[in-house]
Structure 1
Amino acid sequence: MPDSTITKSPLPGLYIVATPIGNLGDISPRAAATLASADLIAAEDTRVTAKLLSHLGLRIAMTPYHDHSDEYIRQQLVARMADEVIVLVSDAGTPLISDPGYKLVRDARHAGRHITTLPGPCAAIAAITLSGLPSDRFLFAGFLPNKAKARADTIAEFKALRATLLFYESGPRLSAALAALADGLGNREAAVAREISKLYEECVTGTLLDLSARYADAPPKGEIVILVGPPDADQHEEGDDDSIDAALREALVDHPVAKAAKTVAKRFGLERQDIYARALAIKGEASNDAAIDIAPK
């Protein structure tokens, strides 16, 4: 039975097309057909996309669309979507995943244009399947900031999250990024995946510090994904009195005192009886404040 999703004359609009992250054989038939039907391809780097088009035997008009593209270029593309098939691609993988594009999609949607996506390769998803780290819950966080202070602040946001963390990184920054992650999160289990789907694909696992040392004097080439495992079940969040009380107040909004105390005690690794007493005190303060608010003036 023929695939009804592939048509010779697709509707005018925006087509978000995932392209191979390495092996050009990963292009899907539907993606190839959509590229062939395009009136214009908006490409992150036209030189990179030209190689894919050459592999497919296609010659399609292209225009650059990247981080530095301004609003005028976006509006020109959105205007053309009324009557033409505009295809958005990044250099590799799924557009908008740590790549430019969301503003174009947003503006096209506001203009009422037809928008569809053609799913396919994504380095972050491919890497987590290779890593052996927990994949039931994960967070993709793109590239870490360049400056040490901003990088440390960003890493600190993820410390309490019980999920596998995914980052994109470059070879020259890899060792320092791994060391910064170890400093901010603890020396967790991790993986470095690179050259996915290519001849020299590899996924190296170990602790963050082991991996940092491995790449310190030999920065690798290619596209790199860092994966950091979640904290151990018995690893507790550090917190002072103010942060513990804040956590209790938040928990008490939706839970009775006993359950709120149990949750916060487990989170910070503290004695449940002590936290229960603090929860009762906070609950009492809240009740007194409410009584004052409704008292006759």
Structure 2
Amino acid sequence: MTTNPATLVLAGTPIGDITDAPPRLARELAEADVIAAEDTRRLRRLTQALGVTPRGRVVSYFEGNESARTPELVEALVGGARVLLVTDAGMPSVSDPGYRLVAAAVERDIRVTAVPGPSAVLTALALSGLPVDRFCFEGFLPRKAGERLSRLRDVAEERRTLVYFEAPHRLDDTLAAMAEVFGAERRAAVCRELTKTYEEVRRGGLGELAEWAAEGVRGEITVVVEGAPERGPEELDAGELVRRVQAREAAGERRKEAIAAVAVEAGIAKRVVFDAVVAAKHNT
């Protein structure tokens, strides 16, 4: 049972419109003993906009110092402090700093709670026009093209709606890779500058969206992609499966990736394609 009165508070902050700040946020900012902020300058602008003067100590807590700063914040918690964690926008820990601190606090049996706030993930999902009953959040894709394709192939058969974050200067490459792996006609929505003055939600097929993004896009980006359609297995014999894998290998794909891609195309388990390839190798 937790006996230490200290508390770690994860506070959601506006993703654009400052008036979206949850009512509790101002009180927590005013009363916290320590405020750990991803960007102390943005925190200052936030407190000024909310008319709040923090009484507690303000420290930076971002990707570059997260590992080193976490023990210091845990010690403050152990000593009975109320520590408030805020990131630049949205909820801490969701593709932002916070996970390490939460895990460390839980390990020390310290209470962790949250001030719920705006979420780019849920906002984009709601606005996308795509199914929202089941979804999964994939965060940022790898920057390198090969790693990005591999990650996308891992979820090519995912039936749930997919949600991604992406940098504007990589959006066209990401959408083109999605069109290649998921299919150019797979429906998607690019949500830009959510809740801000120039908010835009662009909907269409992945191929169409990739062409649009090639012209250049600015702002904070969230991409929502329709899940894989349900389909019966394609009637292909083992020889055809092997030929398709070989064709992909000849085009430069690694065998593992080629097998996964052919399985997706045929609507069958990867093991079936793998077994066909192994049997063909033994028969040559």
* Partner amino acid, structure 2, of 1:39: D
Structural mapping, 1:41-120, within 5 Å: 41-60=35-54, 61-82=57-78, 83-120=80-117
* Partner amino acid, structure 2, of 1:215: A
- CA displacement at 1:239 relative to structure 2: 9.3
The residue number in structure 2 matching 1:151 is 148
Structural mapping, 1:1-297, within 5 Å: 11-60=5-54, 61-82=57-78, 83-187=80-184, 188-217=186-215, 219-234=216-231, 268=266
- Which stretches of structure 1, 4 residues or more, deviate above 4 A after TM superposition? 235-241, 267-270
Change in CA separation of 1:235 and 1:191 when aligned onto 2, cut-off 3 Å: farther
* Partner amino acid, structure 2, of 1:202: E
Per-residue CA shift, 1:158-189, capped at 9, x if unaligned?
00110111110111111110000111111211
Per-residue CA shift, 1:238-288, capped at 9, x if unaligned?
9996xx9xxxxxxxxxxxxxxxxxxxxxx9558xxxx9xxxxxxxxxxxxx
8 Å CA contact 1:139, 1:166 repeated in 2: yes
Distance 2:173 2:224 in 1: 15
TM-score, normalised with respect to structure 2: 0.78
- CA displacement at 1:71 relative to structure 2: 3.7
- CA displacement at 1:70 relative to structure 2: 4.8
- CA displacement at 1:46 relative to structure 2: 1.0
Structure 1 gaps, min length 5: 1-10, 245-266, 276-297
Question: What's the RMSD between the two structures over aligned residues?
Answer: 2.7
Structure 2 gaps, min length 5: 242-264, 273-284
Q: How many correspondences in the alignment? A: 240
- CA displacement at 1:232 relative to structure 2: 2.5
* Partner amino acid, structure 1, of 2:52: L
* Partner amino acid, structure 2, of 1:81: L
Distance 2:14 2:190 in 1: 20
Change in CA separation of 1:111 and 1:58 when aligned onto 2, cut-off 3 Å: same
Change in CA separation of 1:75 and 1:132 when aligned onto 2, cut-off 3 Å: same
- CA displacement at 1:72 relative to structure 2: 3.8
Query: Which has the larger displacement, 71-80 or 94-103?
Result: 71-80
8 Å CA contact 1:160, 1:237 repeated in 2: no
- CA displacement at 1:235 relative to structure 2: 7.1
* Partner amino acid, structure 1, of 2:109: G
Distance 2:94 2:167 in 1: 16
- CA displacement at 1:58 relative to structure 2: 2.0
- Greater relative contact order: 1 or 2 (C-alpha under 8 angstroms, separation 6 or more)? 2
TM-score, normalised with respect to structure 1: 0.75
Per-residue CA shift, 1:52-111, capped at 9, x if unaligned?
111112232321111122544211101111321110011000111111110110001111
Identity %: 40
Distance 2:188 2:64 in 1: 33
